[in-house]
Structure 1
Amino acid sequence: DGGLSLLTILPPKQIRELALSTPISHKDVHHLSKITFSYPRSLEDLLQDVASLHESASGSAAPTSLIIVDGLEGYLRGPGVSGGLQQAEQSSAAHISALLYDTAAFLSQTLEERANSLAPCRVIASFQSEWEGHAGGDSSDPVLSVLDRYFQVRCTLDQDWNSALAVAGPQDTWHVYLSGAGITEAPIAEDEEDSSLAREWRLVICPNRSMEFTMV
Structure 2
Amino acid sequence: MTDILTGVFRTFTSKTDVKKDLTVVPASACSALLLGDSSISRSVLLLSAVTAASELGVRVVFFAQTQIQSLPVSLKKCVPSLSPESLKKIKFSYPRTLEELLQQVASLHESQNTSPTPPSLIIVDRLEGYLGGTHSGDKSSAAHLSALLCDSAAFLTQILKERSPSSAPCRLIASYRSEVDSDYAGGESSATDHILDVLDRYFQMRCTLDRDRSYEAAAAGLQELWHVYLSASSITEDCTTDSETRPAVAKEWQLLISADGSMEFKMA
TM range (shorter): 0.7 to 0.9
Q: Percent identity?
A: 50
Change (3 A) 1:138 1:88: farther
Q: Is 1:12–2:61 an aligned residue pair? A: no
Consecutive unaligned residues in structure 1, runs of 5 or more:
78-83, 185-194
Who is 1:114 aligned against? Answer: 163
* SS at 2:253 equivalent: strand
Consecutive unaligned residues in structure 2, runs of 5 or more:
1-52, 238-246
Per-residue deviation at 1:201?
1.8
Structure 2: distance between partners of 1:20 and 1:68 = 17
Larger-Rg structure: 1
Per-residue deviation at 1:153?
0.3
The aligned amino acid for 1:92 is: S
Who is 1:101 aligned against? Answer: 150
The answer (yes or no) to whether the contact 1:148–1:180 under 8 Å persists in 2 is no
Who is 1:33 aligned against? Answer: 88
- Give 1:30-179 correspondences, 5 Å limit: 30-56=85-111, 60-77=115-132, 86-132=135-181, 133=183, 134=185, 135-138=187-190, 140-166=192-218, 171-179=223-231
The answer (yes or no) to whether the contact 1:201–1:214 under 8 Å persists in 2 is yes
The answer (yes or no) to whether the contact 1:57–1:107 under 8 Å persists in 2 is no
The answer (yes or no) to whether the contact 1:204–1:211 under 8 Å persists in 2 is yes
- Work out which structure has the larger RCO, using CA pairs closer than 8 Å and 6 or more positions apart in sequence: 2
Moved more, 39-48 or 84-93: 84-93
Moved more, 57-66 or 39-48: 57-66
Q: TM-score, normalised by structure 1?
A: 0.78
The answer (yes or no) to whether the contact 2:230–2:252 under 8 Å persists in 1 is yes
**RMSD of Structure 2 on Structure 1 (CA):** 3.1
Structure 1: distance between partners of 2:114 and 2:215 = 52
Change (3 A) 1:163 1:126: farther
- In the comparison of the two structures, how many residue pairs are matched? 198
